Structure 1
């Protein structure tokens, strides 16, 4: 059985697109006969990330990652994140001459600059160095490929995302009956880089509903008392909230993809977003959503779109297809040694 080790600094109990994507693709590969293991912060002491305590940074002793990988002896290694575990894994692979792949999930230059006055090129320099040794760097959309190529990243390959259409599907509204319509929904982290405030400042009539948690939640709750903040939701309850919305609003300008966008589409809910990387790549069918630099205008158009158009477009995004893209980029760990020989 072919074995794959995925090294990731992002893992449960975090709830985000990185964790969900790695988990979903791992399960899909296991169905294809792979043995998939994860090297995650669960094995080590962790500390909260400054300004973002929900994310825990691993305090892995020097050599711990090396020893674990050596014992596992996987056929393939994928380094998913650029944090402490990913860094140790990279050093080990370089030391031993092992081939590996990486993935680019998060636009950290934009995330960092939204919090502290650090030039984005400094962050890009680190990320470019981190991914430079990989046989391939997996990137979710063509827009992000183009962006990274402008910053001189190499060996870029597309790895798209999928959606569970059995969980997220159209149906009758079960929520929000007591709230003025239309019902505008946001799902995701409540943090400054997600631009949730732009959603809450919309002039569109109706009710703005926020599902999610994050460091900006107390501030926005106080600033926008007319909005409805439901906190974190998962599973069938989250699916029911999607189905009950009239339009899904995705205000982020920093995401690389936006898994929540295709979850909304699968639920039959048209999407309104800015014309930026992620939405630009997903909302290629005008019946699925509306893109506009004026988010109110995008919402107005999205509210006129048919729900079946959103669902049909979502069915193009499958985890089976995403897993095949991921699998096709993998390289045997011995490939680098063979080239050196």
Structure 2
């Protein structure tokens, strides 16, 4: 298999889409696959309005058609619904190439949070985008049920994994702060519902790792919280291992790789009972999911770290890659 993956999300962005795709490329040889990426690095781009950290590529169907002719992939996967994803979809349709897609991000909710565009309009556009795919991959059963109810078809499951050698419990605590430490990791943006966490009356210290367009305003509004900016690798892993509870206030994430990074680090989860936490935490006993996030955070303090670690170890990138490449082969075999 020579797989071309078209994605608008790419380095230097730090998010679950980028991490997932990078791990698929690392695992590809194990499954007899070679991965070639079509990313914003190939094109001129401009910053996305209201979210300059994300750049939108200036790309058309013709440019992608030429790249397809050059790369000669046996399979094509479109990971995002941005300019590169759309151009690749159009090029595949023109060349009568089969392709698969994946649904990573709740763009309708994100767009509605920033503009007056109704969610229904965005979902209509997304249905059209994914309709031509041989399969659309989603990360959880809850998301599959929700999107099926919205008229999406040909859905296949693709779970996520975690590097359990990097994200693990550690004896050292690099956070010299009042305990207990309640941690959030992710984008600092309006759609992440961070104020639901930062506004809680909790003992100890609230810590935010990540960056985004809402950071300056939130730092000013919540001076008692500690904002550490974007961290990665060992620096990020040591912070996870130094915290006591991972608080996930998002109502819109489709999975939340940070959830399983936290679990692998021995952290219990406090979150709302919504898609993502419901699927990842479920009935594992490794988190508290409640409409009252403060109660969830306080109750999560009693959950044993070794239980969380053991559960976190069940999410592997090898299994994620097995599902991913199997889905692509199965979908293309049906052509």
Q: Work out whether residues 135 and 331 of structure 2, in 8 Å CA contact, stay in contact via their aligned partners in 1.
A: no
Match among 219, 222, 225 for residue 227 of structure 1: 225
Pairwise CA RMSD of aligned residues? Answer: 1.4
Deviation at 1:334, TM superposition (A): 7.5
CA distance, structure 2, for counterparts of residue 93 and residue 166 of structure 1: 39
Q: Residue 162 of structure 2 corresponds to which residue in structure 1? A: 163
CA distance, structure 2, for counterparts of residue 62 and residue 289 of structure 1: 46
CA distance, structure 2, for counterparts of residue 88 and residue 232 of structure 1: 31
For normalisation by structure 1, the TM-score amounts to 0.96
CA distance, structure 2, for counterparts of residue 150 and residue 138 of structure 1: 15
Q: Residue 287 of structure 1 corresponds to which residue in structure 2? A: 285
Structure 1 residues 334 and 143: alpha-carbon distance in aligned structure 2, compared to 1, 3 A threshold? closer
Q: Work out whether residues 28 and 321 of structure 2, in 8 Å CA contact, stay in contact via their aligned partners in 1.
A: yes
Q: Work out whether residues 273 and 290 of structure 1, in 8 Å CA contact, stay in contact via their aligned partners in 2.
A: yes
Q: Count matched residues.
A: 335
CA distance, structure 2, for counterparts of residue 196 and residue 159 of structure 1: 27
Instruction: Look up the SS of the partner of 1:256 in the other structure.
Output: coil
Q: Work out whether residues 100 and 331 of structure 1, in 8 Å CA contact, stay in contact via their aligned partners in 2.
A: no
Correspondences of 1:64-75 after superposition (within 5 Å): 64-75=63-74
Structure 1 stretches lacking a partner, 5+ long: none
Deviation at 1:312, TM superposition (A): 0.9
Instruction: Look up the SS of the partner of 2:52 in the other structure.
Output: strand
CA distance, structure 1, for counterparts of residue 272 and residue 256 of structure 2: 12
Deviation at 1:96, TM superposition (A): 1.7
Q: Work out whether residues 135 and 331 of structure 1, in 8 Å CA contact, stay in contact via their aligned partners in 2.
A: no
Match among 300, 305, 308 for residue 306 of structure 2: 308
Q: Residue 10 of structure 2 corresponds to which residue in structure 1? A: 11
Q: Residue 80 of structure 1 corresponds to which residue in structure 2? A: 79
Q: Work out whether residues 76 and 333 of structure 1, in 8 Å CA contact, stay in contact via their aligned partners in 2.
A: no
Deviation at 1:35, TM superposition (A): 1.1
Q: Residue 172 of structure 1 corresponds to which residue in structure 2? A: 171
Structure 1 residues 285 and 97: alpha-carbon distance in aligned structure 2, compared to 1, 3 A threshold? same
Q: Residue 257 of structure 2 corresponds to which residue in structure 1? A: 259
Deviation at 1:287, TM superposition (A): 2.5
Structure 2 stretches lacking a partner, 5+ long: none
Instruction: Look up the SS of the partner of 1:175 in the other structure.
Output: coil
For normalisation by structure 2, the TM-score amounts to 0.97
CA distance, structure 2, for counterparts of residue 286 and residue 98 of structure 1: 42
